[in-house]
Amino acid sequence: MTATLPENNDQKPVGHGRMLRKEDPRFIRGRGRFVDDLQLPGMLHLAILRSPFAHARILSVDTTAAEAYPKVKAVVTGAMLAEQNLAWMPTLSNDVQAVLATDKVRFQGQEVAFVVAEDRYAARDALELIDVEYEPLDPVIDVRKALDPNAPVIRDDLDGKADNHCFDWETGDEAETDRVFDEADVVVSQDIVYPRVHPAPMETCGCVADYDRIDGKLTLWSTSQAPHAHRTVYALVSGLPEHKIRVVSPDIGGGFGNKVPIYPGYVCSIVASLVTGKPVKWMEDRSENLISTGFARDYVMRGEIAATQDGRILAIRTNVLADHGAFNGTAAPVKYPAGFFGVFTGSYDLEAAYCKMTAVYTNKAPGGVAYACSFRITEAVYLVERIVDCLADALGMDPVELRLRNLIRPEQFPYTTKTGWVYDSGDYEPTLREAMRIAGYDELRREQKQKRENGELMGIGVSFFTEAVGAGPRKDMDILGLGMADGAELRVHPTGKAVVRLSVQSQGQGHETTFAQIVAEEIGIPPADIEVVHGDTDQTPFGLGTYGSRSTPVSGAAVALVTRKVRDKARIIASGMLEVSVADLEWEKGSFHVAGDPEKAVTIQEIAMRAHGAGDLPEGIEGGLEAQICYNPSNLTYPHGAYICVVDIDPGTAQVKVRRFVAVDDCGTRINPMIIEGQVHGGLTDGVGMALMEIIAFDEEGNCLGGSLMDYLIPTALEVPDWETGFTVTPSPHHPIGAKGVGESATVGSPPAIVNAVVDALKPFGIRHADMPLTPSRVWDAMQGRPTPP
């Protein structure tokens, strides 16, 4: 039957529904409603003065000239905030961060003071009139030297802090892992750096704060991926009662983890509105976004892998040095300070695993946010997929063959890893075989052999990944004490149209479409008749927000279940309408009919009218057709994928060209295949950026060298090939519709495939590893036998 259905098919929305996105008519007409589009009467503008130094004591701040500048309404310093006890705020990972610096500045670009003026220009001009006297201090830039005994102490604001240590963390069984390593035939180790990169969303961060002095209510429109969690934090910091705070996250021009943290600019804007009684807008520019907001990665890793001579992987061991910048500005579940890095055991059936991590402070921007990464999964997948390739090289084995020999087998699911994660479902080999089929793997290897004989540099790289997404079960996951469950509410109006309210909100992923599709699938109301409301704390139930590809695994489940709850009520009402018992009713999408008599039926629309109408309802049934739920997932979902990348390297210029890229993803039940492909295309493009182009580097004084898009290179259509995508479907057993997350899969899975391909191309030079980004100069260095710079 499905074969004859049209593509935009409302009757079978999930999986078959390549439905066009409901939000696109407004986006493609330039009618999106972003924070910077907001114009309120009497609105003032805020600009932030930032530190030129990475580490310096503040001796004095003179604001006299700035205050006298025309149109300026207020100039606020850290000292003034300190008087109100507002100079520091909590981060989403149990650290504190300066809203405005009081004692010292700790990274270049740190917030020092702000100006509020009648327009944006006056505010920016006045910044130049603020006179700050700094006493420069030695900065800590090299993460490897942060714990040297003579290193300057960055966080002397913390009581008794005498070094730059941030946290230690370990997972797995050290003794058992050591034993397996000692007895293994083959041990390979490799130092691997995942450099600091930046999410660099198209829209920078910003907000409009509007405090109404009459009713004591604060409304904050902000670029927030987690409006409810932010509201709670604002309530805790400001002392304003939570019901008097409304956080609205309107259309967002990309988030990618960059909009999870609470930034000083939001708090400054709230203060400015409280002080002036006027709405206040703050919008960063591109450089401010790149130098001061949440960076990602910055892990210095040592990976070790143990195996038998014939290629059975036995254990993985890793030691990580994590650079968190000046403040630990990550958002991470309290029990997981290194996020889900524990999934570094990858997709392989191991005997033992162990990780030891040390995190430190440096004089760099705070973070690191999980850029397109479910809490450090990206680093974990890169580590394991690089080290497995190093092992293949040492054993002289084909990297695909080595993976096939070690993948977790379908009968082993649910699979508990050696670090305690329970993979819900997976069928790995068919996914890898499908990628090989699309790529024509054997043919590619033949082509490569021939090219090598002619001195051409062609490389084939493979990666196989398992992600842990959908945080998370409240028994062991919370952020700042807030459980990671999500609410959902569904109301069916008398005429059978519906509105569903979500606690998550979209930054471009298309939730207005896919969540309508989930409701449609469950209750048979066409997606066009379902309004999706999100991103406004006054309009939606509580939940922790959109990141870590958690919306589908958590909120998607909530929406499916709340719709079933409504359907259960509809069934009782239908039984009254058809005068049969509930047990005698059969559901066929969109209507109930009497078993054995399809003619005796009522549609969901007729039931909705009866639910709201005059006349009797069955005993004990209230009027209306609506329900609410709070969904606590019993586990994460574990999507997987197999990626194959083909590169050509110009031997004269060392430029890498990605010629082909095959991505086969398995995210369980697919809601909207078109949206999934778009998600994968975006993530693969991210991957090319990280693998080949992007890095936030610093000079010895701590000047950020990636502060503009002239220096921080992001890929365009010119740098990427036509993506070749495929899929397999292994539903999640605990998700009501079997869906797993997919939003970050491609960003996670693609960098190792690309780097593996580049290293493979460079085999004739005897190279086993080179660190990202593999720019022409780094590849050239590698070809000359020079190591990657630290």
Helix (H, G, I), strand (E, B) or coil at 235: helix
Report the residue from 547, 592, 631, 712 that binds ligand PCD according to the rule CB under 6 A. 547
Q: How many residues sit in the footprint of ligand PCD (CB under 6 A)?
A: 39
Q: Give the whole-angstrom CA distance, residue 499 versus residue 516.
A: 9
Q: What stretch of H or E contains 314?
A: strand 313-323
CB 107 within 8 A of CB 365: yes
Helix (H, G, I), strand (E, B) or coil at 258: coil
> In the complex with ligand PCD, which residue's Cβ is closer, 158 or 528?
528
Report the residue from 548, 633, 736, 749 that binds ligand PCD according to the rule CB under 6 A. 548
- Site map 680..699 versus ligand PCD, x via CB under 6 A: --x-----------------
**The one-letter amino acid at 408:** I
Helix (H, G, I), strand (E, B) or coil at 115: strand
What torsion do the CA atoms of 307, 308, 309, 312 make, to the nearest 10 degrees? -80
> In the complex with ligand PCD, which residue's Cβ is closer, 102 or 431?
431
Q: Taking CB under 6 A as the criterion, which residues in 390-409 touch ligand PCD?
A: none
Q: Does 546 bind ligand PCD (CB under 6 A)?
A: yes
Q: Does 543 bind ligand PCD (CB under 6 A)?
A: no
CB 771 within 8 A of CB 778: yes
Q: Taking CB under 6 A as the criterion, which residues in 222-251 touch ligand PCD?
A: 225
Structure tokens at 196: 């600091």
Structure tokens at 426: 């997976």
CB of 242 to ligand PCD, least distance (A): 24
CB of 533 to ligand PCD, least distance (A): 16
Q: Taking CB under 6 A as the criterion, which residues in 257-296 touch ligand PCD?
A: 257
Q: Give the whole-angstrom CA distance, residue 328 versus residue 527.
A: 42
Structure tokens at 436: 């090989």
C-beta neighbour count of 252 within 10 angstroms: 25
Q: Taking CB under 6 A as the criterion, which residues in 351-390 touch ligand PCD?
A: 370-373
Q: Give the whole-angstrom CA distance, residue 563 versus residue 291.
A: 44
CB of 19 to ligand PCD, least distance (A): 10
Report the residue from 102, 363, 679, 750 that binds ligand PCD according to the rule CB under 6 A. 679
Options 51-59, 255-263, 610-618, 697-705: segment touching ligand PCD (CB under 6 A):
255-263
Q: Taking CB under 6 A as the criterion, which residues in 731-770 touch ligand PCD?
A: 739-744
CB of 637 to ligand PCD, least distance (A): 9
> In the complex with ligand PCD, which residue's Cβ is closer, 219 or 747?
747
C-beta neighbour count of 308 within 10 angstroms: 12
Q: Taking CB under 6 A as the criterion, which residues in 659-678 touch ligand PCD?
A: 667-672, 675-676
Report the residue from 53, 114, 256, 344 that binds ligand PCD according to the rule CB under 6 A. 256
Q: Does 109 bind ligand PCD (CB under 6 A)?
A: no
CB of 639 to ligand PCD, least distance (A): 8
Report, in this order, helix, strand and coil percent for the chain, each rounded to 5: 30, 25, 40
Q: What stretch of H or E contains 350?
A: none
Q: Give the whole-angstrom CA distance, residue 663 versus residue 641.
A: 7
Q: Taking CB under 6 A as the criterion, which residues in 495-524 touch ligand PCD?
A: 507-511, 514
Q: Give the whole-angstrom CA distance, residue 573 versus residue 760.
A: 65
Q: Does 551 bind ligand PCD (CB under 6 A)?
A: yes
Helix (H, G, I), strand (E, B) or coil at 20: coil
Q: What stretch of H or E contains 236?
A: helix 227-238
Report the residue from 255, 337, 367, 752 that binds ligand PCD according to the rule CB under 6 A. 255
DSSP type of residue 698: B
C-beta neighbour count of 131 within 10 angstroms: 12
DSSP type of residue 327: S
- Site map 195..214 versus ligand PCD, x via CB under 6 A: ------x-------------
Q: Does 549 bind ligand PCD (CB under 6 A)?
A: yes
> In the complex with ligand PCD, which residue's Cβ is closer, 204 or 669?
669
Q: Does 726 bind ligand PCD (CB under 6 A)?
A: no
Q: Which residues bind to ligand PCD, rule: CB under 6 A? A: 201, 225, 254-257, 370-373, 507-511, 514, 546-552, 667-672, 675-676, 679, 682, 739-744
